[in-house]
């Protein structure tokens, strides 16, 4: 299911008094009294809570918000499609002032519950839902993936790199667009011909495993890329990417993780092959949103993570730092600053 902008005409008064704590005073004229109980509920997509990806990072952010604001956070874990709508309904029924949903799978349920519960604040991660009481939390990952693609081309010994996704969806292909453009930029600057397998940006088509959970599919696909000469692979496929890491360990190549710092979140056995990670700093966004709701300053204005605001970034090179020359690292920093300044625009049809 491709991501699409979804709209709902929810009464404008809905956003006036959203809070995590109960409102003791009467609502303002034209407003509504919030039903918050000092708590927040999160609903995962079918990837589960410990997905080494955006479910996990969203939860970590809410745990930080617990400590900072003294609220109570709980997660409702979806294990399949049939769990999604009931979990969102259960989260709303908790009476918490903020409900956080994660991923495009939850867009329809979020939209439906937002319309039925205008006094509840919603935030949806990695998806755009338009309603007066829903705040989209999205990330322009193409910016950071551009840096990762440039890096991959710069460290490749074979002149071949690759990427693949779990599904042909904008939050996935946004990474892939940036990655191949970064490779192309490296070729332009250095007069090289590094090839990027797995994604054709012009056609918006490429290699996909068809799901985000079957680790073996990721391993098989990565082995196919390695057989074609790829020595740096970017999997954009949630848990499936662990299969790519396993193949990289066996075959002596590198991977670039996404969403979280794979060096920190994956099993230690994969650390030697993780070149970097394309980060979505969902944690920081969650803390900010909880703070806004608690301060009665919640709005439905989308949070868009960029290099400029620190919402996206690439992780340290960790154990593979020796592969990155000071000159290459300086070039990447120069590109980062050019993107932030607006002198270099990374474009994608999937950009938020």
Q: What string of H, E and C letters represents the secondary structure of the chain?
A: CCCCCEECCCCHHHHCCCCCCCCCCCCCCCCCCCCCCCEEEEECCCCCCCCCCHHHHHHHHHHHHHHHHCCEEEEECCCCHHHHHHHHHHHHHCCCCEEEEECHHHHHHHHHHHHHCCCCEEEEECCCEEECCEEEEEECHHHHHHHHHHHHHHHCCCCEEEEEECCCCHHHHHHHHHHHHHHHHHHHHHCCCCEEECEECCCCEECECCCCCCHHHHHHHHHHHHHCCCCEEEEECHHHHHHHHHHHHHHCCEEEEEECCHHHHCCHHHHHHEEEEEEECHHHHHHHHHHHHHCCCCCCCCEEECCCCCCEEECCCHHHHHHCCHHHHHHHHHHHHHHHHCCCCCCCCCCC
Predicted structure pTM score: 0.83
d(CA 141, CA 174): 6
Q: What is the pLDDT of residue 37?
A: 60
Q: What is the pLDDT of residue 322?
A: 97
Tell me how crowded residue 21 is: count the other CB atoms within 10 A of its CB.
17
The size of the chain, in residues, is 352
Q: How confident is the model at residue 343 (pLDDT cuts 50, 70, 90)?
A: very high
Q: What is the pLDDT of residue 27?
A: 29
DSSP 226: H
Can you state the angle between helices 81-93 and 107-116, rounded to 10 degrees? 30
Can you state the angle between helices 141-155 and 170-190, rounded to 10 degrees? 40
Q: Is 171 helix (H, G, I), strand (E, B) or coil?
A: helix
Phi and psi for 2 in degrees, rounded to 5? -70, 150
- The stretch 127-146 carries a mean pLDDT of 96
d(CA 85, CA 88): 5
Which sign does the torsion angle of CA 244, 245, 246, 249 carry? positive
Q: What is the pLDDT of residue 26?
A: 28
Q: What is the mean pLDDT of the chain?
A: 89
- The stretch 149-166 carries a mean pLDDT of 98
Q: What is the pLDDT of residue 82?
A: 92
- Whether residue 32 has pLDDT greater than 90: no
d(CA 94, CA 100): 13
pLDDT, tens only, 210-265: 998 899 999 999 999 999 999 999 999 988 999 999 999 999 999 999 999 999 99
């Amino acid at each position: 299911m491709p991501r699409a902008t979804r709209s709902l005409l929810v009464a404008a008064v809905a956003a006036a008094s959203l809070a995590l704590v109960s409102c003791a005073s009467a609502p303002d004229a034209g407003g509504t009294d919030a039903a918050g109980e000092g708590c927040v509920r999160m609903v995962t997509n079918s990837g589960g809570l410990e997905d080494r990806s955006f479910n996990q990072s969203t939860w970590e952010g809410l745990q930080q918000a617990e400590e900072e604001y003294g609220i109570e956070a709980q997660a409702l874990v979806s294990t399949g499609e049939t769990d999604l709508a009931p979990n969102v309904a259960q989260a709303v029924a908790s009476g918490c002032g903020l409900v956080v949903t994660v991923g495009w799978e939850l867009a329809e349920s979020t939209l439906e519950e937002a319309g039925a519960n205008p006094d509840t604040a919603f935030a949806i991660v990695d998806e755009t839902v338009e309603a007066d009481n829903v705040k989209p939390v999205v990330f322009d990952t193409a910016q950071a993936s551009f840096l990762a693609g440039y890096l991959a081309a710069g460290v490749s010994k074979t002149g071949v790199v690759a990427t693949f996704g779990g599904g042909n969806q904008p939050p996935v292909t946004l990474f892939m667009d940036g990655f191949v453009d970064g490779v192309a930029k490296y070729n332009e600057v250095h007069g090289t011909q590094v090839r990027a397998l797995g994604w054709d940006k012009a056609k918006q088509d490429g290699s996909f495993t068809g799901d985000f959970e079957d680790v073996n599919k990721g391993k098989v696909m990565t082995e196919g890329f390695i057989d074609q000469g790829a020595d740096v692979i970017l999997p954009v496929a949630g848990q499936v990417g662990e299969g790519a890491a396993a193949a990289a360990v066996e075959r002596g190549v590198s991977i670039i993780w996404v969403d979280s710092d794979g060096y920190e979140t994956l099993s230690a056995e994969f650390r030697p092959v993780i070149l970097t990670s394309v980060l979505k700093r969902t944690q920081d966004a969650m803390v900010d949103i909880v703070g806004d709701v608690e301060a009665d300053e919640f709005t439905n204005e989308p949070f868009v993570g960029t290099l400029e605001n620190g919402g996206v970034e690439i992780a340290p090179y960790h154990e593979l730092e020796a592969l990155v020359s000071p000159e290459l690292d300086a070039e990447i920093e120069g590109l980062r600053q050019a993107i932030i300044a607006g002198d270099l625009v990374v474009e994608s049809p999937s950009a938020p």
